[in-house]
Amino acid sequence: MSEQKAIATPKRTKEILEKYGFSFKKSLGQNFLIDVNILKNLIHNAGITKDMNALEIGPGIGALTEQLAIAANKVVAFEIDGRLLPILEDTLQAYDNIELINKDILKADFEEIWEQYFQDANPVKIVANLPYYITTPILMQLLMANLPISSITVMMQKEVAERMAATENTKEYGSLSIAIQYYTEARVKMVVPKTVFMPQPRVDSAVLHLEKRATPPVTVEDEEFFFQLVQASFQQRRKTLRNNLSRHFKDKLAKPQIEEGFEHAEINGTRRGESLNMQEFATLANYFKQQIKENT
């Protein structure tokens, strides 16, 4: 299929929307891409080749799906908006390697999906243009599900992508950075201007590539507790670690025990959460978890 006929052009997108009288639902964060080159770059950054399968979330009218079908062995696409199914069946009819699922990805049974659609030996990568309002819950669910995938490459709000890939001692760094980087190596691959979407969002986007780690970069005794401590450390960014953690753990740890934890981890309690690396958080979490166990 030639580029002129690609779905991802302003002219073709308008034609498709008019043909079906489609109206955008703000509640679903629908913004369709109208630039083929950006989609090809997204697929290139995802490392998709003909011996791979792709799982897509939110295909819209099929702009990315079409380019994935050209580049990959097979594409399985989840679309929550039932109104888009007849449109997708029309726009993608030239391709026989696409499976459409009318379902909310957050309610998907991944074991079932893999059994039904990914029985071949080809590796699976996730590629998507994610709706802004639900980017974080989708990514966290995919990462925590421990799927047999090697990477996730997604277009999302630029500011959120920067937070996910941020390192310590930056204003973007926070509990989200640590949650994402615990499971993956995160890199912002490119910035995408708001002008290449229809309708045009208020902010620019970015492509974030998440390479799945074989094992987390730190050893923690209790993952849930580790993430709880990280979140507590950023509860009030301007406050010190001592203030935030004393407040959060006041019913579980006495102040001297909190001080012992800082001493054990060789961390000054007057530091702020944004200055700690993941290993320092892990050392603190493991120590406090042990203390709480001993207190009960």
Q: Is the dihedral of CA 64, 69, 73, 75 positive or negative?
A: positive
| The pLDDT value given to residue 4 | 45
pLDDT in tens, the chain (296 residues): 444 489 999 999 999 989 988 876 665 557 889 999 999 999 999 999 999 999 999 999 999 999 999 999 999 999 998 989 999 999 999 999 999 999 999 999 999 999 999 998 899 999 999 888 889 999 999 999 989 999 999 999 999 999 999 999 999 999 999 999 999 999 999 999 999 998 888 899 999 999 999 999 999 999 999 999 999 999 998 999 999 999 999 999 999 999 999 999 999 999 999 999 999 999 999 999 999 988 87
In the block, residue with structure tokens 């493991």 = 286
| The pLDDT value given to residue 133 | 80
Helix then strand then coil, % of the chain, to nearest 5? 50, 15, 35
Task: Kindly tell me the burial class for residue 148, based on how many C-beta atoms sit within 10 Å of its own C-beta (0-12, 13-18, 19 or more).
Answer: exposed
* Start-end of CATH 3.40.50.150 domains in the chain: 3-212
Neighbours of 243 (CB within 10 A): 15
The token pair that represents 99 in the structure block: 């499976």
| Residues of each annotated binding site for S-adenosyl-L-methionine | 31, 33, 58, 79, 104, 129
- Angle between helix 241-248 and helix 255-265 axes, rounded to 10 deg: 130
Give the Cα separation of 137 and 123 in Å (integer).
24
Tell me which CATH code domain 223-295 carries. 1.10.8.100
* Start-end of CATH 1.10.8.100 domains in the chain: 223-295
| Bond before 199 cis per omega within 30 degrees | yes
| Residues of each annotated binding site | 31, 33, 58, 79, 104, 129
| The pLDDT value given to residue 2 | 41
Name the CATH architecture for the domain at 3-212. Answer: 3-Layer(aba) Sandwich (3.40)
Q: Is the dihedral of CA 113, 114, 116, 122 positive or negative?
A: positive
| The pLDDT value given to residue 22 | 80
For residue 207, give the nearest of 32, 42, 37 by alpha carbon.
42
**pTM score, whole prediction:** 0.93
| The pLDDT value given to residue 155 | 95
| The pLDDT value given to residue 128 | 96
